[in-house]
């Protein structure tokens, strides 16, 4: 393994609300040293080290540009665990979608009567923010988040953090290179259920060995349904009709991976070209300025977004919630 042979200087900015300063590009090596230490990076060769450092420097330039042109009051862009990656690792695989699967039409009564706001994090239906780490397993985290919420809705007071690693180890088509949340939900429904995170902890590796123990199952659900949500109103209605968080997809771009703060996020680098990431939709609402947003829980840890949550402007070009919106029943 190749390491930077300097003492990390812990030069990540101490960020305060409304203060997202520029990174000094002359100190790029020092920032990179801190990055390697903080995220425990180990590069296989000097060549890979140099390549990652060049990407890291480009990331700093991009972050500075975004912050210089930002009008956010309480948010900005920072160095995160993705700073040495050229592209967002895709973890939603649309090729696994079955185009013959019937879509569930959202009932008109839920579309017409959808409340002004929903936040399932305040209703005991959402567990802690988790971190998928380098594994491209977002589709599993979104599905498990949905199962946790549906189970808690059906069994009030029984919100349990469930195991993503069980899926990686025991579901035949599960990989660290993307998948489809509906397949995860249906696997749990067709098997004997899902164990808890505590009994089957996440180690971000695929197919270690299946250690499923039916005696330790904490949740069971029925097969999944996929909602037809081609627009914002139908997605609001689906979230209301479901009565629990939904697994949805989004085009997660570089700006998503650098974002930190509580403001409504309006990414400017989405292309509208399709989804590459799965998240857990937990609500929607409007901020103090009347800007409508979707609230979702990500699976990148608490260091991005607002403690791991994002408020995404409904006026976005990120294909949010347009395909693969699904839930256990």
Q: Write the CATH number for 45.
A: 1.10.287.2250
Q: Tell me: do 19 and 130 sit in the same domain.
A: no
Helix (H) or strand (E) holding 227: strand 224-228
Find how far residue 179's CA is from the centre of its chain.
Answer: 14
**Is-catalytic flag, 177?**
no
Q: How many domains does the chain have?
A: 2
Among 138, 170, 176, 270, the one annotated catalytic: 138
**Is-catalytic flag, 277?**
yes
Q: Tell me: do 169 and 234 sit in the same domain.
A: yes
Q: Tell me: do 145 and 70 sit in the same domain.
A: no
Q: Across the strands, what pairs with 278? A: 249
Per-residue pLDDT tens digits of the chain, which is 329 residues long: 554 444 344 344 434 444 577 999 999 999 999 999 999 999 999 999 999 999 999 999 999 999 999 888 889 999 999 999 988 888 998 888 876 678 999 999 999 999 999 999 999 999 999 999 989 999 999 999 999 999 999 999 999 999 999 999 999 999 999 999 999 999 999 999 999 999 999 997 766 799 999 999 999 999 999 999 999 999 999 999 999 999 999 999 999 999 999 999 999 999 988 899 999 999 999 999 999 999 999 999 999 999 999 999 999 999 999 999 999 99
Residue 123, CA distances (Å) to 75, 275, 283 in order: 26, 28, 11
pLDDT of amino acid 273: 84
Q: Tell me: do 104 and 44 sit in the same domain.
A: no
pLDDT of amino acid 73: 82
Residue where one domain finishes, among candidates 33, 67, 86: 86
Residue where one domain finishes, among candidates 34, 52, 86: 86
Residue where one domain finishes, among candidates 37, 61, 86: 86
Q: Is residue 162 a contact partner of residue 305, using CB atoms and an 8 Å limit?
A: no
In the block, residue with structure tokens 């309480």: 74
pLDDT of amino acid 97: 82
- Domain of residue 28 covers 1-86
Q: Tell me: do 103 and 61 sit in the same domain.
A: no
**Is-catalytic flag, 74?**
no
Among 186, 242, 298, 313, the one annotated catalytic: 298
Q: Tell me: do 77 and 98 sit in the same domain.
A: no
Q: Tell me: do 77 and 101 sit in the same domain.
A: no
CATH number for the domain harbouring residue 257 = 3.90.70.10
Find how far residue 47's CA is from the centre of its chain.
Answer: 31
Q: Tell me: do 129 and 230 sit in the same domain.
A: yes
Among 194, 277, 313, 316, the one annotated catalytic: 277
Q: Tell me: do 179 and 198 sit in the same domain.
A: yes
Q: Tell me: do 119 and 66 sit in the same domain.
A: no
């Amino acid at each position: 393994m190749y390491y930077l042979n300097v003492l990390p200087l812990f030069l990540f900015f101490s960020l305060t609300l409304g203060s997202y300063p520029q990174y000094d590009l002359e100190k790029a090596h020092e920032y990179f040293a801190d990055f390697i230490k903080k995220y425990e990076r180990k590069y296989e060769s000097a060549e890979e080290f140099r390549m990652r450092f060049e990407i890291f420097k480009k990331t700093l330039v991009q972050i500075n540009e975004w912050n210089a042109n930002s009008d956010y009051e309480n948010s900005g862009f920072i160095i995160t665990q993705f700073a040495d990656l050229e592209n967002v690792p895709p973890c939603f695989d649309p090729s696994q979608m079955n185009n013959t699967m019937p879509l569930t039409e959202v009932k008109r009564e839920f579309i017409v009567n959808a409340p002004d706001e929903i936040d399932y994090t305040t209703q005991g239906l959402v567990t802690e923010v988790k971190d998928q780490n380098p594994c491209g397993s977002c589709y599993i985290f979104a599905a498990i988040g949905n199962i946790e919420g549906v189970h808690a809705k059906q069994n009030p007071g029984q919100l349990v953090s469930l195991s993503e690693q069980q899926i990686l180890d025991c579901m035949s088509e599960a990989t660290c290179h993307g998948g489809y949340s509906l397949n995860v939900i249906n696997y749990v429904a067709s098997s004997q259920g899902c164990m808890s995170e505590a009994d089957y902890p996440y180690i971000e590796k695929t197919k270690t060995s299946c250690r499923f123990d039916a005696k330790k199952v904490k949740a069971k659900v029925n097969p999944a349904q996929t909602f037809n949500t081609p627009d914002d109103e139908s997605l609001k209605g689906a979230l209301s009709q479901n009565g629990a968080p939904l697994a949805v997809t989004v085009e997660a771009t570089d700006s998503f991976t650098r974002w930190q703060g509580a403001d409504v996020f309006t990414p400017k680098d989405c292309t509208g070209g399709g989804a590459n990431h799965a998240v857990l939709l937990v609500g929607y609402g409007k901020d103090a300025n009347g800007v409508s947003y979707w609230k979702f829980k990500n699976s990148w840890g608490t260091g991005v977004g607002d403690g791991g949550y994002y408020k995404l402007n409904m006026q976005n070009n990120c294909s949010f919630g347009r395909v693969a919106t699904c839930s256990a029943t």
